[in-house]
A and B are shown apart, each in its own frame.
Chain A
Amino acid sequence: MDPGRFDALVAAHHSEIYRYLLRATSRGSEADDLAQETFLRAYRAHRTLAPDANARAWLFAIATNVAKNHFRAESRRRRAHTAVRATLSVTDGAEPESETLFNEARVRLDAVVAALPFKQRLAFTMRKVHDLEYDAIARSLGCSAESARAHVFQALKKIRVSLNGHALPPGEC
């Protein structure tokens, strides 16, 4: 195997895959773990990747899968925690991680995007942050390109509603 080929893949795409996963999970520590998971999986599979395959779209598809699995496990955990809390009447003391200071609009957008339904959040991030084609987004999410487009549309609608009056110039009628 050509060790340089995979090094080049890491050099070219780690940053954007990490950023994508950061948007997908909203937590730096999780994005770190999931980006590792993504590239370790990719390393295990890259020998069977066709030479003319779109490696970038392929990496996003792996990252999406990793994020989906994580999201599923996280939901299960959260449900379990909720059940425990309900029984013990323990209040939630968990604080969101605040690793970097963002300005108001960014914080607002972070919150809006983090609150989007999972698939909309992934589709929106892949399209609007990483400029992936709808076909590639669809393959990652396991849906049609039309559905991928609809996810992005719904996400933008929600973002618009949430941002109304925040960080947006007034409408010109």
Chain B
Amino acid sequence: MTRKPAVCLQIESALVAAATGDADRATAARVESHTRLCAPCREDFVRYRAVDGAVHAWQRAPAPMEEVARAHLVSRLSDLRRRTLAYGIFASPLGPMLIARSEEGVSLVEYLSGGRDFAHSRLKSVEGVEALPDGAEIEALHRELLEYMEGRRTRLEWPLDLRLARSAFHRAVLEATARIPYGAVRSYAGIAGELGKPAATRAVAQALRWNPLPIVVPCHRVIGASGALTGYAGTRVTLKQRLLAVEGVRTRRADRDFRIEREAMYVRARQDTEYCVPTCGSLAERPLAELTLFASRERAEATGLAPCTTCRPDLHPISR
């Protein structure tokens, strides 16, 4: 076999590129002027062109089992998507927080007491969940939550996914709690009564203790029968007081807890369509379980309630 001349060896890669449509114009021109004079390279060029043609025909060959492969993927992917919760961790005035969501909706809002690290999240130990860090979408939720904490937003209109609720009863408690309006409070016993289980006060408190969506499902608006805030996020009742303060609900210190100022709040009894001053009729003696208390007339009226025609809170508002 004879060796190729050096000039042919040098141009070989350019020749292959030109013959297979992979060369720029200058390279193609260089190859053309060489092959015009060099017969063996011209032959090479033609052969590579034929190779390129064969490759083109080959690449259009049908790929066997493609549809089956697609079906396999779709099935595994839908399983993964169901299990996936995308999360983000960020700083907030109430400390480091984690927000996680599925494709259906937000499923976890968590105060990270151990620091800004996923290792401290309860998501880490939830079975059947694959947690993945998220970018922009959790960031958008984060911004809204910050606006809420700063009092610049009164609603978080997020689709919710209650998959982390521990039972059907817990889910019902969360749904009832989610209906408590901004700037209002109810009691654990009141929620139990609404669910038709007036004796289940402790069970309601337990369900809210495991609330996977604090702030969004506003368990900070649920208080004890005495008007004491009782618990929040473990031992962090101060957070509850701060969240209520953002909504205009006034509280005062009582031992190691806080207590709402019931005499400074407007009242709705059971399912009335009106709201009253706290001294209207026998309201002052009624148990909290029967009442919803509002921080202001605006808050009561924002839920569609009318001023009581007897005590006329619109004409005689609470004097502070």
Q: Which residues of A contact B (CB under 8 A)?
A: 1-3, 10, 14-15, 18-19, 22, 28-29, 31-32, 35-36, 39-40, 43-44, 47-48, 51, 99-100, 102, 105-106, 109-110, 127-129, 149-150, 152-153, 156-157, 159-160, 163-164, 167-169, 171-173
Contacts and interface: CB of A to CB of B under 8 A. Distances in A.
A45 B55 CA distance: 34
Most chain A C-beta atoms within 10 Å of own C-beta, residue among B39, B63, B68, B133: B63
Interface string B41-55: 011001110110011
Interface in B8-59: 13, 16-17, 20, 22, 39, 42-43, 46-48, 50-51, 54-55, 57-59
Contact of A99 (B43, B64, B81): B64
B69 A156 contact: no
B73 A14 contact: yes
Contacts of B195: none
Interface of B: 13, 16-17, 20, 22, 39, 42-43, 46-48, 50-51, 54-55, 57-59, 61-66, 68-70, 72-74, 76-77, 80-81, 84, 86, 101, 103, 130, 132-137
Contacts of A157: 16
Contacts of B73: 10, 14, 35-36, 39
Contact of B86 (A35, A47, A129, A164): A47
A102 B61 contact: yes
Given A28-B69, A43-B81, A173-B43, 10 more contacts: A18-B69, A32-B68, A36-B76, A105-B57, A106-B58, A106-B61, A109-B54, A129-B59, A168-B54, A172-B46
Contacts, number: 119
B132 A14 contact: no
Nearest to B130: A44
The 6 closest A-B pairs by CB, nearest first: A100-B64, A32-B69, A99-B64, A171-B43, A129-B59, A109-B58
Contacts of A105: 54, 57-58
13 contacts: A1-B86, A18-B66, A18-B70, A29-B65, A40-B76, A47-B137, A51-B136, A102-B61, A128-B59, A129-B55, A156-B16, A157-B16, A164-B47
B39 to A, nearest CB: 6
B63 A18 contact: yes
B207 to A, nearest CB: 28
Given A14-B73, A159-B51, A173-B43, A28 B65 contact: yes
A44 B83 CA distance: 11
B152 to A, nearest CB: 26
Nearest to B68: A32
Contacts of A19: 63, 66
Contacts of B47: 160, 164, 168, 171
Contacts of A1: 86, 101, 103, 134, 137
B55 A109 contact: yes
A156 B46 CA distance: 13
Contacts of B42: 173
A14 B103 CA distance: 21
A98 to B, nearest CB: 9
Contacts of A150: 13
B72 A32 contact: yes
Nearest to A113: B58
Contact of B62 (A36, A47, A100, A110): A100
Contacts of B68: 32
A12 to B, nearest CB: 12
Contacts of B130: 44
B3 to A, nearest CB: 16
Nearest to B75: A36
A168 B103 contact: no
Given A14-B70, A40-B77, A43-B80, A22 B54 contact: no
